[in-house]
Amino acid sequence: MKQDIFQAIADPTRRAILTLVAIQALTPNAMAEKFDMTRQAVSKHIKVLQECDLIKPQHSGREIYYHFNAKRMQEFDNWLAQFRQNWETQFSQLDALLSTIKEQKK
């Protein structure tokens, strides 16, 4: 079952995992140590992130290292870009309005 990317990144632990693996590929055991949680708990988070294609496994001997999938995050960022321009325009308009009000009060 494919997970919703918004559900995946809504969880603060999963966002923290993404931040960690963006810096360096990690095993589930290494992740568990960083979060003071069991490997099983981390594995549940990994499963959700992997189902969204935000992280990818790479086998190295008996270990599995999880890597950040920058391409998938770029797709998400591209989707957000359409809204970002609208936000920036609205914030600029608000800033101009607040500046006008401030000048009128002088």
Q: pLDDT per position in the chain (106 positions), as tens? A: 567 888 899 999 999 999 999 999 999 999 999 988 888 999 999 999 999 999 999 999 999 999 999 998 888 888 888 898 888 999 999 999 999 998 888 7
Give the global pTM: 0.75
How many whole angstroms separate alpha carbon 34 and alpha carbon 23? 14
How many whole angstroms separate alpha carbon 17 and alpha carbon 62? 21
For the chain, which residues make up each domain, given as ranges? 1-68, 70-105
What's 1-68's CATH class?
Answer: mainly alpha
